């Protein structure tokens, strides 16, 4: 192997970004977060209390798949042209990936309690990034 072959970095993957951050949020992040959040809840009516949670293999798989989509969408947030900076943005996206990964593990373990907690962690990760970056956009436009 020549020295040049050893030092030449491989060409970057020919990514073809389709969705900007806003469209990614609308089409991928928001709908899949809803699947996770709606999967475990308690509905209280005059008729009584209903505990919603995944019960069948198929229902657990649907939640797991949405959690995987969320986790990987965190990687999409880190990529050009969506990443807003190389520091805080990456940290917020990483927190989001970690929270989504915990939802994947909860679904694999078929634990409704852990899935509920992971849903809360996902919500916090959404909020932390929005507080830092979306509120800034809104303020800048005022």
Which residues bind to ligand HEC, rule: CB under 6 A? 21-22, 25-26, 29-30, 33, 77, 89, 92-93, 96, 122, 125-126, 129-130, 133-134
CA 112, 106, 97, 59 dihedral sign is negative
Q: Which of 89, 121, 85, 87 is nearest to 103 (CA)?
A: 121
CA dihedral 134, 39, 101, 131 (to 10 degrees): 10
Smallest separation (angstroms) from ligand HEC to the CB of 21: 4
Cβ closer to ligand HEC: 114 or 130? 130
- Beta carbon nearer to ligand HEC, 112 or 122: 122
* Smallest distance from ligand HEC to CB 137, Å: 6
Identify the CA nearest to 111 among candidates 121, 103, 122: 103
- Closer to ligand HEC by Cβ: residue 99 or 112: 99
């Amino acid at each position: 192997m020549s020295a040049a072959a050893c030092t030449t970095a491989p060409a970057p993957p020919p990514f073809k970004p389709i969705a900007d951050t806003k469209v990614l949020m609308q089409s991928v992040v928001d709908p899949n977060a809803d699947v996770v959040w709606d999967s475990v809840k308690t509905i209280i009516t005059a008729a009584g209390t209903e505990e919603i949670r995944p019960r069948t293999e198929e229902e657990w798989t649907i939640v797991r798949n949405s959690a995987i989509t969320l986790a990987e969408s965190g990687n999409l947030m880190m990529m050009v042209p969506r990443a807003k900076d190389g520091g805080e943005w990456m940290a917020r996206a990483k927190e989001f990936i970690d929270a989504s990964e915990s939802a994947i593990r909860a679904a694999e373990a078929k634990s409704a309690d852990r899935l509920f907690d992971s849903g809360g962690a996902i919500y916090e990760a959404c909020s932390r990034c929005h507080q830092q970056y979306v509120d800034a956009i809104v303020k800048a436009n005022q």
